[in-house]
Amino acid sequence: MSRSRARLLAMTTAACAAAALAVAAPAQADEGIDPSAVTPGTGTEAPARVMGDEQTVAADEPVAAARQYLDDNQRTFAIDGGDLTPIATYADGATETVRFAQSHQGVPVFGAQYLVHMRPDGGDTTVTGANGTYYTGLSVDTAPAATEATAVDRAKQYVLEGLAGGKFTVPATGPDVAAASRGLVVLPEGAGRLSWHVTVSTVDGKGTPVVKEVYVDADTAWPLFAYDGIQFDSPAAGTGVKYDGTESPIGVTKSDDGTYKLVDQANAPTDITTYDGRGWDVRSVLGGGVPEGMPIYSGPSTRFDGDATESGAVDAHVNAAHVYEYYLKKLGRNGLDGNGMDMTSVVGVDLGGQPFVNAFWDGTKMVYGSGGGDFKTLSADLDVVGHEMTHGVVEHSAGLIYAHQPGAMNEAIADYFGNAIDVDYSGTSMRDPDAGLLGEDLCRTASPRECALRDLNDGRTTADYEGLTWEFDNGGVHANSTIFSGALWDIRERIGGAKADKLIYKALTEYLTPTSSFVDGRNAVVQAALDSRLSWLERGKVLVAFLQHGIVDGWEKRIGDASQLMTGITTERTAPAAAGGWWVAAKGSPEGGEPYSMYSGRTSGGKPVKLADPVEGRFNVMPATDGKWAVWIAWGAADALIMRAPVNGSAPAKVVGYARNPSRLSVEGSWISWQESTPSGPKQWYKNADDPNSYEEPVDGTYHKTSGLGEIRGGKLYYVLAWPDSERYHLNVVVRDLATRQETMLPEIMAEGSTTEPAGLYGPKPTSKGIVIGVDARPGNQAGIVRISADGKTVKTLVDEASANAPLLGEYDATSSAVTFENWPGDVPPKIWQVSIDGGKAKPMSCTTGVQFHVNADEGTRAVWFDGMYGTTALVVRDKPRSHC
């Protein structure tokens, strides 16, 4: 039988992050497999890795050989071959690898891929090992209770809520939002969680494109999590003038009308095409494909200069060809998907008629802004183009999810190959101190080191790892990338570009899977070095590179400076609550696979109390407490139940109300309030849970008024109202006596004319010393915090919006002693700060480097929050702020 060993197309797979899983018992090895070769998996009976014990199977074709090996060793692998679909085969002459994707009852399983490694051996095949993730405990029903349309609607709302950032503004036309379902997927948590995958595209308040991959529970329609989807004719010979003034040959195509288009057909079947996005808003090009009507960049002759140079069209076209040539000639990969995928660029887009100084890969094409000010268009630097297009290579091979450690490796590998392409093409020595700089040529006047986006030689190690969560940088995909890319770059410096590039490409395509960690990445490169038969000295250099960057087993174990109340929190979009010495928070089951339960506990510490198991088909989320009662939402596909229980768990939870689309609960005794999302905008609702004649009701039913951010204290509901008169909209704090329904509108805090978007008020926090409220009344992103008297006539500034240290305000809470607030400065993770209720200097609540968010005040200066410094997200508490860090 003749051997047919062709490199196959690596199909795109769905990328997702699995929640924390319990460690399973090691799989037993078959009689023919040495137990020492088996590394047990996590949360599955299938091993994570089998290496060092070779077997020969009587099969010639790679996929058949891989399947036979898994079947012959069923006792070790516990894999049902019917759940595996081959999605790629890789061959480099000496070895071959088959990559399988797992499904459950025909539905793809998020991030689940298994790889089998082998080498041809005459008419047989010698299997050298296997690795990956296959989930053996899946039993979830794949029939969804929530409709696809409901999931799409909830995903859109989830993204818009995140962009609003907790601020209440006057009604305004929101951004255009597009949402498309990608179908069902099984999240591999315990027995599995069926979810809808929805892609939402819009822009944030600054006009920056936003593409979110949202996963919505298919039973309850609760958005589980989201991560960024943007990873920021006849042939003829032509000439293009690049941004730096040099000329370069380019491939063009002559049209029937005699003009020439930027379409390079020299590498058939791959076309390299550059589209003219001038006059197009970046928001119109989000998502797959090129918008209908957008023209290919064209000119009257084969020479492209002038506006073709200034818009970045020439650089985009030339550099895309360099990327294609590098992957084809040096790594044997035909295009980004390995099967001749067209390489498409769109240049010159703007943002609301203003320059757009950014670029991104959206899954199908590169999009470059028009540039402006001190920056050239980003297509003018080859390493940036190589970086973004390498995201396409990663997407069509390992599919590293764009979050946490896998996402940081995704960025690291893109940085590595982007820089490798640039360094090799320019002839820069690896010993050049600027060789590790990415994007160093983008500035018009600044030096390369001042301009660079990242430096692969920055020396960062896992000791510098920033403990981030989904809410910030997708879990640190950029913040932590140079830890891994630095190790890869060190390898390139020590063993040479040719060997290192092939080694890292082999690790990417043949060993890494969507959920691989830094240690998995190290193991992949080390195994690729063994497969490639590098010398013992070279393999030693590979190991030392990872060691010097702290990528060793168990590096993730970290210690913070707060007390942990509950760990292993995998919930999304639901914050903890605290009051009266008690906390309340939602948490998934230890092994995952079921909706969230609700827990409580003493803020002084101790074992958590489970207040309620999940109601069938519902998530327990968005808790609030007054220190005696805990209330929360049991979120379902069609409606939401308002639940209440004693905070100490002394009695079972009861349904005390109903809502459609609630958020921001507050409770005091029998009174409960919440904010409802409606087609005309938010509305504040409330009810008396102990009065059988009390029904859920809004504070106002007028269509042109909006209200929300309510808080109950002393039998009164404090909320923000947006209302118009003949001249403008106003924002006021309103106080409603819940027993009499009488209302008092407090004087406006914001000056006339300052209530235009994005100015606004944050939620009022009533205390015995007055009402604390966040105010954004000035240009810029910072906000201030003030305390107003009960009648609203006296205003005391606690945090000055005009000061240099004014925060980018997130959530905050207040007691009669202090105001504890989040600062989201953008360039570092959000941090928790505290200021006295009487004002003064704000102090940090913690000195850890990771994310601190979802803060809630308890009593005095004690506060709780979610912290990312503990391996998994943990609920933590501190009794007082740090004096300094």
30 touches 122 (CB < 8 A): no
Distance in angstroms (rounded) separating the CA atoms of residues 45 and 135:
7
Q: Is the pLDDT of residue 438 over 80?
A: yes
Q: Is the pLDDT of residue 379 over 90?
A: no
Q: What is the pLDDT of residues 201-221, one digit of tens each?
A: 888 776 778 888 899 999 999
Beta strand 38-39 with 49-57 is antiparallel
State the sign of the Cα–Cα–Cα–Cα dihedral 540, 541, 542, 546.
Answer: positive
Q: Nearest CA to 102 among 14, 17, 229, 8?
A: 14
**What domains are there in the chain, each with its CATH number?**
35-132 (no CATH), 148-228 (3.10.450), 230-380 (3.10.170.10), 398-557 (1.10.390.10), 759-885 (2.130.10.120)
Q: What is the CA radius of gyration of the chain?
A: 29
Q: Is the pLDDT of residue 233 over 70?
A: no
Q: Is the pLDDT of residue 675 over 50?
A: yes
Distance in angstroms (rounded) separating the CA atoms of residues 242 and 316:
9
Q: Which range among 300-304, 501-505, 529-533, 690-694 has the greatest average pLDDT?
A: 501-505
Mean pLDDT over residues 388-409, rounded? Answer: 90
Q: What is the pLDDT of residues 510-528, one digit of tens each?
A: 999 998 999 999 999 999 9
Report pLDDT for 302: 84
Q: Nearest CA to 395 among 416, 364, 372?
A: 364
Q: Is the pLDDT of residue 10 over 50?
A: no
Position 676 confidence tier, pLDDT thresholds 50, 70, 90? very high
Q: Is the pLDDT of residue 755 over 70?
A: no
Position 9 confidence tier, pLDDT thresholds 50, 70, 90? very low
Beta strand 706-713 with 223-228 is unpaired
Q: Is the pLDDT of residue 172 over 60?
A: no
Distance in angstroms (rounded) separating the CA atoms of residues 579 and 669:
13
Report pLDDT for 246: 85
Distance in angstroms (rounded) separating the CA atoms of residues 15 and 339:
20
Q: Nearest CA to 663 among 151, 160, 146?
A: 160
Q: What is the pLDDT of residues 771-816, one digit of tens each?
A: 999 999 887 788 999 999 999 999 999 999 999 889 999 999 999 9
Report pLDDT for 355: 81
Distance in angstroms (rounded) separating the CA atoms of residues 37 and 50:
5
Q: Nearest CA to 520 among 113, 53, 219, 80?
A: 113
Report pLDDT for 104: 96
Cis peptide preceding 830, ω within 30 of 0 = no
Phi, psi dihedral angles at 533 (to 5 degrees): 60, 45
Distance in angstroms (rounded) separating the CA atoms of residues 144 and 196:
9
Widest distance between CA atoms in the chain? 92
Beta strand 697-698 with 681-688 is antiparallel
Burial of 391 (0-12, 13-18, 19+ CB in 10 A): buried
Q: What is the pLDDT of residues 55-92, one digit of tens each?
A: 999 888 999 999 999 999 999 999 999 999 999 898 87
Beta strand 303-304 with 234-241 is parallel
Report pLDDT for 134: 94
Report pLDDT for 235: 56
Q: Which range among 231-245, 582-596, 734-748 has the greatest average pLDDT?
A: 734-748
508 touches 413 (CB < 8 A): yes
| Mean of the per-residue pLDDT values of the chain | 87
Report pLDDT for 751: 63
Q: What is the pLDDT of residues 635-663, one digit of tens each?
A: 998 889 999 999 999 999 999 999 998 99
Position 34 confidence tier, pLDDT thresholds 50, 70, 90? confident
- Beta carbons within 10 angstroms of residue 208's beta carbon: 15
Position 171 confidence tier, pLDDT thresholds 50, 70, 90? low
> Residues with catalytic annotation?
388, 478
Per DSSP, 36 falls in state G
- Residue 494, H or E segment: helix 481-495
Distance in angstroms (rounded) separating the CA atoms of residues 813 and 800:
17
Higher-confidence residue of 693 and 65: namely: 65
Q: Is the pLDDT of residue 462 over 60?
A: yes
Point out which residues pair with 770 in neighbouring strands.
767
- Beta carbons within 10 angstroms of residue 116's beta carbon: 29
Report pLDDT for 263: 85
Higher-confidence residue of 449 and 288: namely: 449
Report pLDDT for 175: 66
Q: Where are the alpha helices (H) located in 101-207, listed in sequence order?
A: 148-164
Angle at CA 700, nearest 5°, toward 696 and 701?
90
Cis peptide preceding 698, ω within 30 of 0 = no
Residue 485 corresponds to which tokens in the numbers above?
């890319």
Position 231 confidence tier, pLDDT thresholds 50, 70, 90? low
Distance in angstroms (rounded) separating the CA atoms of residues 833 and 830:
10
595 touches 620 (CB < 8 A): yes
Nearby residues of 487 by Cβ (< 8 Å), 6 or more positions away: 522, 545, 546, 548, 549, 551
Q: Which range among 4-8, 373-377, 855-859 has the greatest average pLDDT?
A: 855-859
3-state class of 463 per DSSP?
helix
DSSP E strands in 541-581: the ranges are 563-569, 577-579
Report pLDDT for 130: 94
Ordered DSSP codes for 378-397: GGGSHHHHHHHHHHHHHHTT
231 touches 410 (CB < 8 A): yes
Q: What is the pLDDT of residues 334-350, one digit of tens each?
A: 888 888 888 888 998 88
Q: Is the pLDDT of residue 22 over 60?
A: no
Distance in angstroms (rounded) separating the CA atoms of residues 735 and 745:
6
Q: Nearest CA to 469 among 870, 771, 9?
A: 870
Residue 345 corresponds to which tokens in the numbers above?
């660029």
Nearby residues of 290 by Cβ (< 8 Å), 6 or more positions away: 275, 344, 346, 365
Q: Nearest CA to 164 among 199, 217, 214, 202?
A: 202
Phi, psi dihedral angles at 267 (to 5 degrees): -115, 40
Q: Which range among 241-245, 400-404, 427-431, 450-454 has the greatest average pLDDT?
A: 427-431
Report pLDDT for 232: 62
Distance in angstroms (rounded) separating the CA atoms of residues 70 and 74:
6
What's the helix, strand, coil split of the chain in %, to 5?
A: 20, 35, 45
Q: Nearest CA to 430 among 441, 442, 419, 440?
A: 419
State the sign of the Cα–Cα–Cα–Cα dihedral 289, 294, 300, 305.
Answer: negative
3-state class of 264 per DSSP?
strand
Mean pLDDT over residues 702-718, rounded? Answer: 94
Mean pLDDT over residues 237-250, rounded? Answer: 82
Put residue 533 in one of left, alpha, beta given phi > 0 → left and psi -120 to 50 → alpha.
Answer: left
Report pLDDT for 758: 53
Distance in angstroms (rounded) separating the CA atoms of residues 474 and 569:
16
Percentage of residues of the chain with pLDDT beyond 90: 53
